[in-house]
Chain A
Amino acid sequence: MQKNPYIPMPVDLVKIVTEVTTKDIKTFRFSFVNKEDAENFKYLPGQFGELSIFGKGESPIGIASSPTQEGYIEFTVQKAGVVTSALHDLEEGARMGVRGPLGNSWPIDYLEGKNVVIVGGGFAFTTLRSMINYMIHEGNRSRFGNITVVYGAREPGLLIYKDELAAWEKRDDIDMYVTVDKGDEAWTGREGFVPTVCKEVGPSSENAVTIICGPPIMIRFTLPVFFELGFSKENIYTSLEMRMKCGIGKCGRCNVGEKYVCKDGPVFSLAELDKLTPEY
């Protein structure tokens, strides 16, 4: 019989980075306690894991690291409920559990040879960061065409992965457009909402795919921009969130129509979503 999918693998919390000035979003780096767990945890950008804190419960969180980053996995988590609050209280060196990898991934095979436009808003940039790091890795970069990234937050202090954003800006094989709704005195970068910036950037829909994650309001206003640019629903992908427990399609709560977001998703194209019930 295969391994019990409900039993978390033990991990050590080896590094915590506070991402935002409000201090409620942190990136947690874990290393596996058991070597075989580290070897078996084979994932792709877009997949998620169940973070497991004994005595508190579990929380499904997208994997923020890229499989090209070996030796650890990372999750960027906003402090929100019981489990994520307990996680935020932990210190480096703590031991906890992870289940996964779960769900499908960004459509890597489909993206190969195509131009990729990545659009992210606020804290919903975690699995997109995984995707970017995956694509720009020296072993992978030639598999993809142009990479364009539009990433925005409400204010400069809420942009996550600031060091990486700066490093990506310096590269000439990725076009970065980082924006904030409203800057502060220190901000010298772009100001403007994500949909507006997408319109200004105006990436060609020729042989291109967009993957987009962000608050619903951002997605609502960004999609028309991409339709106007000629992107078809088959070429726009997003990732859904739903309340989850088991993560493996049994507990019954994260369905959208006949699909379970945990095992058939979380990544869907707009064309796929159109076929499902509008209940998410």
Chain B
Amino acid sequence: MEKRLIKKDALSGIINKLSEQMLVYAPVKDEDNVLFKVLEKGMEPLADYSNTRNAPKNFFFPKTETMMRYMRTERGIELSGEGEGAPEMVLFGVRPCDARSFILLDKVFDQEKYKDPYYIDKREKTTIISLACVHPPYSTCFCTSVGGHPMSSEGADVVLTDLGDKYLAEFVTPKGEKLLEKMGDLSKADDAAEATKEELSKKSEEAITSHVAGREIKPWLDENFEHPFWDTIHQSCLACGTCTYLCPTCHCFDISDEVKGSDGKRIRTWDSCMYWLFTKETSGHNPRTSQKQRWRQRLMHKFKYFVDNFDAIACVGCGRCVMYCPVNIDIRKIVNDISKL
């Protein structure tokens, strides 16, 4: 693995220089929010921010995406295109929890038998530069309870760690090393930088004070699909779906057709297990008619089904669903309550 040092005041210039050669998305200030935007001349990429409100999953799995186009011809309707290929791009400034979400999404979209070409194309052509959380940004962060770490490199091609006056840049994948060639001359990292990083890593791990019994509740979930506890969590839920839209690992989608004149397209759009229509069949039958069942599905999918299938919890502990739930449903509390049953 190549390791370099980047002076703090040089980073912005390096990222801006990259953006002259290829598409670069970076966190930038937008009124009171921080959003990933295409970095254009004169824009300042933020390296010192907490996290974006929206998870960056949309770069590989957009909210709405055209899967194919078709047009009416004399013979009926014929396919006219499968959507455009993705451009080479850099996603700068991803937090480690979100970078790790890509590894989890890969397990769904990049399987041996069925590969999702839309997701994989974008994923393969994107180089991810993550920013280690030297100071975990929120009291709601709980990455360490679900298999992550505030300074993890999982899912990243390049990891930047803020060492005070400089960044330690670790080029962890071949894709990352390829990007290094485009970043100009950077001084090699010394052992001291490594040692500082180790120290910071321990401190940042300790700074995560929110803990949930992530794996511990699995045996209970295995046995208690039916349990009075499930009647207690959904009562205040509005079924708004905010938790699933903001979640970096939620991947459910709908497929629908849109027609305009003689041109049409088939699109996919984010969907949510929080909605009653999600599972409603044409016959009228619905296996999940109540919000209780839908909440159970959401929790079971993340903490049991995904673990059964992929040996990983489908949660990265980013805390977005906790922060933005309009009725303050807190998945950490639910998990911990289960662990006490």
Chain A residues with a Cβ under 8 A of chain B: 1-2, 4-7, 10, 54-58, 80-81, 84, 94-96, 241-243, 245-246, 248-258, 263, 277-280
Contact = CB atoms under 8 A, between A and B. Distances in A.
B116 interface: yes
B252 A278 contact: no
B309 A258 contact: yes
A224 to B, nearest CB: 22
Contacts of B82: 4, 7
Contact of B305 (A7, A10, A57, A258): A258
B323 interface: no
B67 A6 contact: yes
Contacts, number: 116
User: Which 9 A-B pairs rank lowest in CB-CB distance, beginning with the nearest?
Assistant: A252-B252, A81-B282, A95-B76, A248-B114, A258-B308, A258-B305, A54-B77, A80-B282, A55-B259
Interface string B277-296: 01111110001100001000
A252 B301 CA distance: 10
A280 to B, nearest CB: 5
Pick from B79, B114, B256, B271 the residue with the most CB of A within 10 Å.
B114
A54 B264 contact: yes
B253 interface: yes
A13 to B, nearest CB: 10
B326 interface: no
Given A251-B253, A251-B255, A253-B252, A242 B287 contact: yes
Interface string B163-196: 0000000000000000000000000000000000
B115 A1 contact: yes
Contacts of A80: 282-283
B109 interface: yes
Given A6-B266, A55-B259, A248-B113, 4 more contacts: A55-B70, A94-B76, A246-B255, A252-B253
Contacts of B216: none
A81 B277 CA distance: 14
Contacts of A10: 78-79
A2 B118 CA distance: 12
Contact of B109 (A81, A84, A250): A250
A250 B305 contact: no
Contacts of B254: 245, 251
A80 B285 CA distance: 13
A278 B76 CA distance: 43
A70 B271 CA distance: 39
Contacts of A2: 115
12 contacts: A2-B115, A4-B82, A5-B115, A5-B117, A6-B67, A10-B79, A54-B70, A81-B282, A84-B282, A242-B287, A255-B297, A258-B305
A55 B225 contact: no
A252 B70 contact: no
B75 interface: yes
A7 B68 contact: yes
A218 to B, nearest CB: 15
Interface in B216-236: 225
B132 interface: no
A250 B301 contact: no
Given A252-B273, A263-B114, A245 B253 contact: yes
A5 B116 CA distance: 7
B111 A251 contact: no
A62 B157 CA distance: 44
Nearest to B114: A248
Contact of B255 (A4, A58, A241): A58
Nearest to B307: A258
B116 to A, nearest CB: 6
Given A252-B251, A253-B273, A255-B301, A279 B257 contact: no
B287 A279 contact: yes
B273 to A, nearest CB: 7
